[in-house]
Protein backbone atom coordinates (compact mmCIF):
# COMPACT_ATOMS: atom_id res chain seq x y z
CA UNK A 1 0.00 0.00 0.00
CA UNK A 2 1.23 3.48 -0.82
CA UNK A 3 2.06 5.79 2.06
CA UNK A 4 -0.37 8.40 3.40
CA UNK A 5 1.18 11.18 1.35
CA UNK A 6 0.93 9.19 -1.83
CA UNK A 7 -2.68 8.25 -1.12
CA UNK A 8 -3.40 11.96 -0.77
CA UNK A 9 -1.70 12.64 -4.11
CA UNK A 10 -3.79 9.93 -5.76
CA UNK A 11 -7.01 11.35 -4.27
CA UNK A 12 -6.15 14.85 -5.53
CA UNK A 13 -5.29 13.43 -8.96
CA UNK A 14 -8.65 11.65 -9.07
CA UNK A 15 -10.57 14.83 -8.23
CA UNK A 16 -8.53 16.75 -10.83
CA UNK A 17 -9.29 14.15 -13.51
CA UNK A 18 -12.99 14.37 -12.67
CA UNK A 19 -13.16 18.15 -12.56
CA UNK A 20 -10.66 19.09 -15.27
CA UNK A 21 -12.93 19.19 -18.35
CA UNK A 22 -15.56 21.56 -16.90
CA UNK A 23 -12.67 23.67 -15.62
CA UNK A 24 -11.13 23.80 -19.10
CA UNK A 25 -14.52 24.73 -20.54
CA UNK A 26 -14.78 27.65 -18.17
CA UNK A 27 -11.17 28.82 -18.13
CA UNK A 28 -9.89 28.16 -21.69
CA UNK A 29 -12.93 27.96 -23.95
CA UNK A 30 -10.76 28.14 -27.09
CA UNK A 31 -8.53 25.26 -26.06
CA UNK A 32 -11.12 23.20 -24.21
CA UNK A 33 -11.55 20.43 -26.76
CA UNK A 34 -7.78 20.22 -27.34
CA UNK A 35 -7.08 19.96 -23.62
CA UNK A 36 -9.78 17.37 -23.03
CA UNK A 37 -8.40 15.36 -25.97
CA UNK A 38 -4.93 15.56 -24.45
CA UNK A 39 -6.25 14.29 -21.12
CA UNK A 40 -8.00 11.42 -22.91
CA UNK A 41 -4.74 10.51 -24.63
CA UNK A 42 -2.92 10.59 -21.29
CA UNK A 43 -5.46 8.20 -19.78
CA UNK A 44 -5.23 5.75 -22.69
CA UNK A 45 -1.44 5.65 -22.63
CA UNK A 46 -1.56 5.53 -18.83
CA UNK A 47 -3.58 2.34 -19.07
CA UNK A 48 -1.19 0.94 -21.66
CA UNK A 49 1.85 1.74 -19.52
CA UNK A 50 0.24 0.14 -16.47
CA UNK A 51 -0.43 -3.02 -18.48
CA UNK A 52 3.23 -3.16 -19.51
CA UNK A 53 4.27 -2.68 -15.90
CA UNK A 54 2.49 -5.89 -14.88
CA UNK A 55 5.13 -7.61 -17.01
CA UNK A 56 8.10 -5.28 -16.67
CA UNK A 57 7.82 -4.05 -13.10
CA UNK A 58 5.89 -6.77 -11.30
CA UNK A 59 7.00 -9.98 -12.99
CA UNK A 60 10.40 -8.77 -14.22
CA UNK A 61 9.75 -9.63 -17.88
CA UNK A 62 10.96 -6.73 -20.04
CA UNK A 63 8.62 -7.04 -23.03
CA UNK A 64 9.87 -4.96 -25.92
CA UNK A 65 6.96 -5.63 -28.27
CA UNK A 66 4.14 -4.45 -26.09
CA UNK A 67 2.89 -1.86 -28.56
CA UNK A 68 2.00 -4.86 -30.76
CA UNK A 69 -1.04 -5.87 -28.67
CA UNK A 70 -2.21 -2.29 -28.48
CA UNK A 71 -1.88 -1.99 -32.25
CA UNK A 72 -3.45 -5.33 -33.14
CA UNK A 73 -6.56 -4.60 -31.05
CA UNK A 74 -6.78 -1.15 -32.64
CA UNK A 75 -6.49 -2.69 -36.12
CA UNK A 76 -9.19 -5.26 -35.28
CA UNK A 77 -11.55 -2.43 -34.31
CA UNK A 78 -10.68 -0.48 -37.45
CA UNK A 79 -11.07 -3.42 -39.84
CA UNK A 80 -14.40 -4.50 -38.36
CA UNK A 81 -16.00 -1.10 -38.05
CA UNK A 82 -14.77 0.38 -41.35
CA UNK A 83 -14.58 -2.58 -43.72
CA UNK A 84 -17.41 -4.71 -42.35
CA UNK A 85 -19.65 -2.06 -40.72
CA UNK A 86 -19.90 -4.24 -37.64
CA UNK A 87 -21.88 -3.00 -34.65
CA UNK A 88 -20.26 -1.59 -31.53
CA UNK A 89 -20.50 -4.57 -29.20
CA UNK A 90 -19.34 -7.04 -31.84
CA UNK A 91 -16.42 -4.76 -32.69
CA UNK A 92 -15.13 -4.37 -29.16
CA UNK A 93 -15.72 -8.02 -28.31
CA UNK A 94 -13.72 -9.16 -31.31
CA UNK A 95 -11.06 -6.49 -30.66
CA UNK A 96 -10.60 -7.74 -27.12
CA UNK A 97 -10.75 -11.40 -28.17
CA UNK A 98 -8.08 -10.87 -30.83
CA UNK A 99 -5.82 -9.24 -28.24
CA UNK A 100 -6.35 -12.03 -25.72
CA UNK A 101 -5.92 -14.85 -28.24
CA UNK A 102 -2.80 -13.25 -29.67
CA UNK A 103 -1.18 -12.83 -26.26
CA UNK A 104 -2.23 -16.38 -25.32
CA UNK A 105 -0.63 -17.74 -28.49
CA UNK A 106 2.56 -15.65 -28.32
CA UNK A 107 2.83 -16.26 -24.60
CA UNK A 108 3.44 -19.93 -25.36
CA UNK A 109 6.51 -18.95 -27.38
CA UNK A 110 8.05 -16.50 -24.95
CA UNK A 111 7.14 -17.43 -21.39
CA UNK A 112 10.04 -19.80 -20.79
CA UNK A 113 12.62 -17.35 -22.19
CA UNK A 114 14.53 -15.16 -19.71
CA UNK A 115 16.54 -11.95 -19.31
CA UNK A 116 18.18 -10.48 -22.39
CA UNK A 117 16.72 -13.25 -24.51
CA UNK A 118 13.22 -12.29 -23.43
CA UNK A 119 13.97 -8.72 -24.47
CA UNK A 120 15.11 -9.97 -27.87
CA UNK A 121 12.27 -12.38 -28.55
CA UNK A 122 9.63 -9.81 -27.67
CA UNK A 123 11.46 -7.29 -29.84
CA UNK A 124 11.27 -9.78 -32.71
CA UNK A 125 7.57 -10.44 -32.10
CA UNK A 126 6.92 -6.72 -32.04
CA UNK A 127 8.72 -6.42 -35.38
CA UNK A 128 6.67 -9.31 -36.84
CA UNK A 129 3.42 -7.60 -35.83
CA UNK A 130 4.66 -4.29 -37.16
CA UNK A 131 5.77 -5.97 -40.39
CA UNK A 132 2.36 -7.57 -40.84
CA UNK A 133 0.57 -4.26 -40.30
CA UNK A 134 2.96 -2.57 -42.73
CA UNK A 135 3.00 -5.18 -45.47
CA UNK A 136 -0.37 -6.97 -45.33
CA UNK A 137 -1.83 -4.20 -47.44
CA UNK A 138 -5.21 -5.75 -48.40
CA UNK A 139 -6.10 -6.12 -44.73
CA UNK A 140 -4.35 -3.19 -43.06
CA UNK A 141 -3.94 -0.61 -45.80
CA UNK A 142 -0.14 -0.69 -45.34
CA UNK A 143 1.54 2.62 -44.69
CA UNK A 144 -1.70 4.55 -45.25
CA UNK A 145 -3.38 2.78 -42.38
CA UNK A 146 -7.16 2.74 -42.00
CA UNK A 147 -9.03 5.97 -41.51
CA UNK A 148 -12.67 6.93 -41.11
CA UNK A 149 -13.49 4.99 -37.98
CA UNK A 150 -16.93 5.84 -36.61
CA UNK A 151 -17.24 8.06 -33.56
CA UNK A 152 -17.54 5.98 -30.44
CA UNK A 153 -20.60 7.97 -29.37
CA UNK A 154 -22.54 7.31 -32.58
CA UNK A 155 -21.29 3.74 -32.87
CA UNK A 156 -22.46 3.01 -29.34
CA UNK A 157 -25.71 4.89 -29.96
CA UNK A 158 -25.63 7.29 -27.03
CA UNK A 159 -27.31 10.70 -27.43
CA UNK A 160 -24.25 12.78 -26.39
CA UNK A 161 -21.27 13.42 -28.58
CA UNK A 162 -18.01 15.34 -28.52
CA UNK A 163 -14.79 15.13 -26.55
CA UNK A 164 -16.45 15.37 -23.12
CA UNK A 165 -18.54 12.17 -23.17
CA UNK A 166 -15.60 10.32 -24.72
CA UNK A 167 -13.33 11.59 -21.99
CA UNK A 168 -15.63 10.46 -19.20
CA UNK A 169 -16.13 7.10 -20.86
CA UNK A 170 -12.36 6.67 -21.07
CA UNK A 171 -12.07 7.75 -17.44
CA UNK A 172 -14.61 5.11 -16.39
CA UNK A 173 -12.76 2.38 -18.31
CA UNK A 174 -9.42 3.64 -16.96
CA UNK A 175 -10.61 3.62 -13.35
CA UNK A 176 -12.25 0.23 -13.81
CA UNK A 177 -8.97 -1.20 -15.13
CA UNK A 178 -7.05 0.51 -12.31
CA UNK A 179 -9.33 -1.18 -9.77
CA UNK A 180 -8.88 -4.57 -11.42
CA UNK A 181 -5.10 -4.15 -11.65
CA UNK A 182 -4.89 -3.02 -8.02
CA UNK A 183 -6.82 -6.10 -6.95
CA UNK A 184 -4.54 -8.19 -9.13
CA UNK A 185 -1.24 -6.93 -7.77
CA UNK A 186 -2.36 -7.25 -4.14
CA UNK A 187 -3.80 -10.73 -4.63
CA UNK A 188 -1.77 -13.86 -3.80
CA UNK A 189 -1.27 -14.22 -7.56
CA UNK A 190 0.19 -10.70 -7.85
CA UNK A 191 2.45 -11.27 -4.86
CA UNK A 192 3.69 -14.49 -6.45
CA UNK A 193 4.56 -12.53 -9.58
CA UNK A 194 6.68 -10.18 -7.48
CA UNK A 195 8.26 -13.19 -5.85
CA UNK A 196 9.22 -14.49 -9.29
CA UNK A 197 10.74 -11.11 -10.12
CA UNK A 198 12.90 -11.22 -7.01
CA UNK A 199 13.95 -14.87 -7.24
CA UNK A 200 12.42 -17.37 -9.59
CA UNK A 201 14.37 -20.32 -8.20
CA UNK A 202 13.07 -19.71 -4.68
CA UNK A 203 9.49 -19.48 -5.88
CA UNK A 204 10.03 -22.72 -7.75
CA UNK A 205 11.31 -24.48 -4.67
CA UNK A 206 8.21 -23.24 -2.82
CA UNK A 207 6.22 -25.31 -5.31
CA UNK A 208 4.99 -22.46 -7.53
CA UNK A 209 4.49 -23.23 -11.21
CA UNK A 210 6.52 -20.23 -12.33
CA UNK A 211 6.04 -20.86 -16.04
CA UNK A 212 2.27 -20.69 -15.64
CA UNK A 213 2.51 -17.49 -13.61
CA UNK A 214 4.76 -15.87 -16.20
CA UNK A 215 2.42 -17.01 -18.95
CA UNK A 216 -0.71 -15.66 -17.22
CA UNK A 217 1.08 -12.42 -16.47
CA UNK A 218 1.85 -12.10 -20.19
CA UNK A 219 -1.76 -12.77 -21.19
CA UNK A 220 -3.21 -10.39 -18.59
CA UNK A 221 -0.82 -7.69 -19.66
CA UNK A 222 -1.75 -8.22 -23.32
CA UNK A 223 -5.45 -8.06 -22.43
CA UNK A 224 -5.22 -4.68 -20.76
CA UNK A 225 -3.05 -3.41 -23.60
CA UNK A 226 -5.83 -4.46 -25.98
CA UNK A 227 -8.37 -2.45 -23.99
CA UNK A 228 -6.13 0.57 -24.38
CA UNK A 229 -5.79 -0.20 -28.11
CA UNK A 230 -9.57 -0.30 -28.57
CA UNK A 231 -9.96 3.05 -26.83
CA UNK A 232 -7.15 4.48 -28.93
CA UNK A 233 -8.73 3.32 -32.20
CA UNK A 234 -11.96 5.13 -31.30
CA UNK A 235 -10.14 8.18 -29.98
CA UNK A 236 -7.82 8.65 -32.93
CA UNK A 237 -10.29 7.30 -35.53
CA UNK A 238 -7.27 6.31 -37.59
CA UNK A 239 -4.81 3.43 -37.20
CA UNK A 240 -1.39 3.09 -38.84
CA UNK A 241 1.78 1.00 -38.38
CA UNK A 242 3.45 3.87 -36.47
CA UNK A 243 1.82 2.75 -33.25
CA UNK A 244 3.36 -0.72 -33.45
CA UNK A 245 6.98 0.03 -34.24
CA UNK A 246 10.16 -0.15 -32.22
CA UNK A 247 10.00 3.50 -31.17
CA UNK A 248 6.45 3.08 -29.88
CA UNK A 249 7.43 0.07 -27.77
CA UNK A 250 10.48 1.80 -26.39
CA UNK A 251 8.46 4.92 -25.58
CA UNK A 252 6.24 2.66 -23.45
CA UNK A 253 9.37 1.46 -21.71
CA UNK A 254 10.31 5.04 -21.04
CA UNK A 255 6.86 5.83 -19.60
CA UNK A 256 7.13 2.94 -17.14
CA UNK A 257 10.75 3.66 -16.20
CA UNK A 258 10.19 7.37 -15.85
CA UNK A 259 7.11 6.87 -13.69
CA UNK A 260 8.34 4.02 -11.54
CA UNK A 261 8.37 0.33 -12.40
CA UNK A 262 6.72 -2.00 -9.92
CA UNK A 263 3.94 0.46 -9.07
CA UNK A 264 0.64 1.20 -10.76
CA UNK A 265 0.48 4.94 -10.25
CA UNK A 266 4.03 5.43 -11.54
CA UNK A 267 3.56 4.26 -15.14
CA UNK A 268 0.33 6.26 -15.42
CA UNK A 269 2.20 9.37 -14.28
CA UNK A 270 5.08 8.59 -16.63
CA UNK A 271 2.67 8.15 -19.53
CA UNK A 272 0.92 11.39 -18.69
CA UNK A 273 4.23 13.22 -18.50
CA UNK A 274 5.49 11.89 -21.84
CA UNK A 275 2.20 12.53 -23.68
CA UNK A 276 2.04 16.04 -22.26
CA UNK A 277 5.70 16.73 -23.06
CA UNK A 278 5.29 15.41 -26.60
CA UNK A 279 2.27 17.55 -27.34
CA UNK A 280 3.52 20.70 -25.67
CA UNK A 281 7.08 20.55 -27.01
CA UNK A 282 6.10 19.66 -30.55
CA UNK A 283 4.11 22.89 -30.76
CA UNK A 284 7.23 24.92 -29.94
CA UNK A 285 10.07 23.07 -31.62
CA UNK A 286 10.78 20.39 -34.19
CA UNK A 287 13.57 18.97 -32.06
CA UNK A 288 11.24 16.61 -30.24
CA UNK A 289 13.45 13.55 -30.76
CA UNK A 290 16.47 15.34 -29.33
CA UNK A 291 14.53 16.17 -26.18
CA UNK A 292 13.05 12.69 -25.91
CA UNK A 293 16.54 11.18 -26.23
CA UNK A 294 17.77 13.48 -23.48
CA UNK A 295 14.81 12.46 -21.29
CA UNK A 296 15.84 8.81 -21.69
CA UNK A 297 19.42 9.48 -20.65
CA UNK A 298 18.55 11.81 -17.77
CA UNK A 299 15.94 9.36 -16.44
CA UNK A 300 18.38 6.46 -16.43
CA UNK A 301 21.16 8.52 -14.89
CA UNK A 302 19.26 10.28 -12.16
CA UNK A 303 15.89 8.63 -11.60
CA UNK A 304 16.33 4.95 -12.48
CA UNK A 305 13.64 3.99 -9.95
CA UNK A 306 11.15 6.42 -11.44
CA UNK A 307 9.46 9.58 -10.24
CA UNK A 308 6.90 7.80 -8.09
CA UNK A 309 9.62 6.00 -6.15
CA UNK A 310 11.72 9.13 -5.54
CA UNK A 311 12.31 9.51 -1.84
CA UNK A 312 11.32 5.96 -1.00
CA UNK A 313 13.54 2.96 -0.48
CA UNK A 314 15.82 1.99 -3.36
CA UNK A 315 15.55 -1.48 -4.76
CA UNK A 316 18.64 -3.11 -6.07
CA UNK A 317 17.04 -4.47 -9.23
CA UNK A 318 14.79 -2.61 -11.67
Site residues for other proteins per CB under 8 A: 62, 109-110, 112-113, 115-117, 119-121, 123-125, 127-128, 130-132, 134-137, 245-247, 250, 253-254, 257, 287, 289-290, 292-297, 299-301, 304, 318
Integer Cα distance of 119 and 64 in angstroms? 6
**Closer by beta carbon to other proteins, 46 or else 65:** 65
**Closer by beta carbon to other proteins, 117 or else 160:** 117
**Closer by beta carbon to other proteins, 123 or else 273:** 123
**Closer by beta carbon to other proteins, 128 or else 164:** 128
Give least dist CB 95 to other proteins, A.
22
Give least dist CB 84 to other proteins, A.
21
**Closer by beta carbon to other proteins, 64 or else 235:** 64
The residue count for the chain:
318
**Closer by beta carbon to other proteins, 283 or else 316:** 316
Give least dist CB 85 to other proteins, A.
25
Give least dist CB 128 to other proteins, A.
4
Give least dist CB 152 to other proteins, A.
31
Give least dist CB 240 to other proteins, A.
15
Give least dist CB 270 to other proteins, A.
12
**Closer by beta carbon to other proteins, 62 or else 145:** 62
Amino acid sequence: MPSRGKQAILAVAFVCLLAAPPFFNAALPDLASYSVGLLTEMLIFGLLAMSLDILLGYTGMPSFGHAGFFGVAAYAVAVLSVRHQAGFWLTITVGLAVGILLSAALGLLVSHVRDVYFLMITLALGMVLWGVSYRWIPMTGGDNGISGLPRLETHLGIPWSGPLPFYYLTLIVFLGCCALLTLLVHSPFGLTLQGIRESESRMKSLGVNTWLHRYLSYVISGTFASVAGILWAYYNRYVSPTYLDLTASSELFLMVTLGGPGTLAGPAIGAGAIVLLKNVISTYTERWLLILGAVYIVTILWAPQGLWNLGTRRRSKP
